[in-house]
Structure 1
Amino acid sequence: MTQLDARAEIVDALTRYTLAVDRGDWDLLDTVFTPDAAIDYSESGGIVGSIAEAKPWLAENLPAFSAKRLHMLGQIAVEFDSWPGDSAQVTAYFHNPMVISDGAGGERVVEVGGLYHHHFVRTSTGWRSNKLHEELVWSRGF
């Protein structure tokens, strides 16, 4: 595997993450994270725990934002700890507009933006994140 192949696998995993969250396909997260992954959503008021704890938390809390969720990733930095190696530090910019009820029968858009900081490891099933820290940089509309 070349570095370009590894980077492509990592970017594919990041894309699967956004699709899983936006679609509410929580089992798809199992193709993004290792079973022992640690998740930290504390900066946006969320859970700090294992992926096994984060999946039901997401399933319970994100429906408040309706099914109209749309993550977008920007710059993605991949820094391999060594090459060839089995781990990488990955940072991806994100912008996440979501639709919520306005309390008067209509809807309004709320947004968050920030950085996803991952630690990826090479596994027998490909590159997977074993740690995610969501760094909230800004929010609007809450």
Structure 2
Amino acid sequence: MTQRVELATLMDRFAVDGLVTEYAVAVDDGDWEAYRRLFAPDGRADYRSAGGIEGDAGQVAGWLARSMELFPMRQHLIVNRRLRFGVLDQDRGDTARVQADYINPMRFAGDDDGSTAPDFVCGGRYAFALVRTDLGWRLREVVVQEKWRRMPQPRQEPAVT
């Protein structure tokens, strides 16, 4: 590889990594317009393994906006990112795939400031398919593969003696 090709590859890696981070931030912050902008025009997302829907980015953003009202506090952590460029047929370096693990702690809405509301935590793996567009890298597909979840336990009243 020439230094120019290596530099271009590094720049693409940074851009793809940044897009995955922006995805997490958009969901955590409830910025559904930013979420939609991360996708290519034909972009789709599939949250069915986590009890959600599959559809185009606009449909899924609407569903997420309603669903996330239950969880006013969210913090996506996306780790162990594995990136490959050009894995689609007839590709010339304008596509990428990322597999990344996630853990997603969220807090249920409460009657007060939320500090006593119970937590919900889930984890799994994302499969991102990306495409280079005139606007830069965009998501073509996001598939959530939820592997586990921990629901809040009912509060136990102390035994009266």
TM-score (norm 1): 0.91
Judge conservation of contact 1:13–1:31 (CA < 8 Å) in 2.
Answer: no
Q: Which runs of 5+ in 2 are unaligned?
A: 1-6, 153-161
1:125 matched to 2:131? The reply is no
Residue number among 61, 81, 88 corresponding to 2:86 in the alignment: 81
Deviation at 1:141, TM superposition (A): 1.6
Runs of 4+ in 1 over 3 A off after TM superposition: none
Deviation at 1:31, TM superposition (A): 3.3
Residue number among 59, 62, 67 corresponding to 2:68 in the alignment: 62
Question: How many residues are paired up?
Answer: 140
Structure 1 vs Structure 2 CA RMSD: 1.9
Judge conservation of contact 2:102–2:124 (CA < 8 Å) in 1.
Answer: yes
Mapped partners of 1:141, 1:29: distance in 2: 26
1:31 matched to 2:37? The reply is yes
Higher relative contact order (CA 8 A, sep 6+): 1
Q: Which runs of 5+ in 1 are unaligned?
A: none
Mapped partners of 1:109, 1:23: distance in 2: 17
Mark the structure with the bigger radius of gyration: 2
Please state which structure has a larger fraction of its residues in strand: 1
Deviates more, 1:94-103 or 1:126-135: 94-103
TM-score (norm 2): 0.81
Deviation at 1:81, TM superposition (A): 1.9
- Residue 4 of structure 1: aligned partner: 10
Residue number among 44, 52, 55 corresponding to 1:49 in the alignment: 55
